[in-house]
Structure 1
């Protein structure tokens, strides 16, 4: 099996690479910049830009592509990074005969952010590719220390039954990566992974 991460040099991408390595699965990541914390033994870096596919050289064949590009901080980039990048990833999959796409969406959050992720989901569902949509809440872990600041209050409010906080229930990045890799290796027929499937 050969996996291509789109934008995989960040927080979630590193956790996925680490989890895939445990199962001896070959991984590459497409990114404009190389993450020097990811060694060549861990994953192969492909220099490229999802918004410039004509100048992005992909030499190997891949079984699955995992879309990891997105932002929650910059509302002015929601459309570009959370939705348009998905359309570009679909084009890349079609161009290189990658038959399955895994899309990291969202289970809730601020209105504009959530809507941009739902728009990405629609593109994936309409793409005619095999797909798996992952809907985590807030993801936290050592690779992003600031993520810990939100964990305790959100867990507290979610236990009070407040819908908004239940939908963004925090999960450790390692648990999310483990759940996704397991779903891939088990070759499940599921098309969606929800928070409850990752707890």
Structure 2
């Protein structure tokens, strides 16, 4: 069996390549031209270059492939059009390339943020990607990771951990009441691999989360304990948190929009993983 992993040179993508190789699968990676991270890919991985936003550049990579694992996406940006171009438009291009190359099986890595009551531009772009996958006529499976921790992955968690460790008094929007089920990177990768290879997973959507439910405040306390720090949380009302996030963007903190920065503090992400446990033999360990 031969698979194509889009975005395979990223942290989760490289780990997925190793997992698939260990399962006896031949792996081809689609990466951006000039991406030096391909040097870190496991030996035996075939490399193709292209940009999912440019259909013509990616189409040849799909020839001779049995299944596509579509990971390529942007997670953080202050540009809503970039989310639409890469996450939504890029997924539509991947679907078209699968159809034109005769690839029947597609695994799409979405996000738990598509379940939030109010979608950020990122969440909306991932939900649009889900719609394209479901309407494709392919044998599709969708996975929705929660907050990823460990093994070099999880940029959102690393930003959060750096934030609470940096200041003796750290502000917490909403008092950190939002509940999460963070997932270890290693468990997420195993879940993605199993979902893309299992016949029972066709036509299904799985949440890939960890076993523990914790609030953002509890997560901060655990991070600080592991770092050997004694910092104190300052609960921040929502109106003030939003005002400060918007101000930070205006003075140069432009990596992520105020809406996206606050969404994780505002909404719970505690999905049921029973179906993944049953269909994928998915049994994650505590993330912290």
Q: TM-score range by the shorter chain?
A: 0.7 to 0.9
CA contact (8 A) 1:75 1:112 kept: no
Q: How far apart, in 2, do the equivalents of 1:148 and 1:182 lie?
A: 26
Unaligned runs of 5+ in 2: 165-171, 210-272, 277-281
Q: Which of 104-113 and 7-16 deviates more?
A: 104-113
Shift of the 60–92 alpha-carbon distance from structure 1 to 2, 3 Å rule, reads closer
Residue of structure 2 equivalent to 1:19: 19
Residue of structure 2 equivalent to 1:74: 77
CA contact (8 A) 1:151 1:170 kept: no
Unaligned runs of 5+ in 1: none
Residue of structure 2 equivalent to 1:37: 40
CA contact (8 A) 2:67 2:103 kept: yes
Residue of structure 2 equivalent to 1:51: 53
TM superposition shift of 1:144:
3.6
Query: CA RMSD for the aligned pairs?
Result: 2.7
Structure with higher Rg: it is: 2
TM superposition shift of 1:49:
2.3
Matched, 1:150 2:160: yes
TM-score (norm 1): 0.83
Residue of structure 1 equivalent to 2:205: 192
TM superposition shift of 1:80:
1.2
What are the Cα deviations for residues 33-80 of structure 1, in whole angstroms up to 9, with x where unaligned?
351011442x11112222333344337411111111112210411111
Q: How many residue pairs were aligned?
A: 190
Q: How far apart, in 1, do the equivalents of 2:51 and 2:111 lie?
A: 23
1:104 to 109, 113, 116: 109
Shift of the 184–66 alpha-carbon distance from structure 1 to 2, 3 Å rule, reads closer
Q: Which of 72-81 and 120-129 deviates more?
A: 72-81
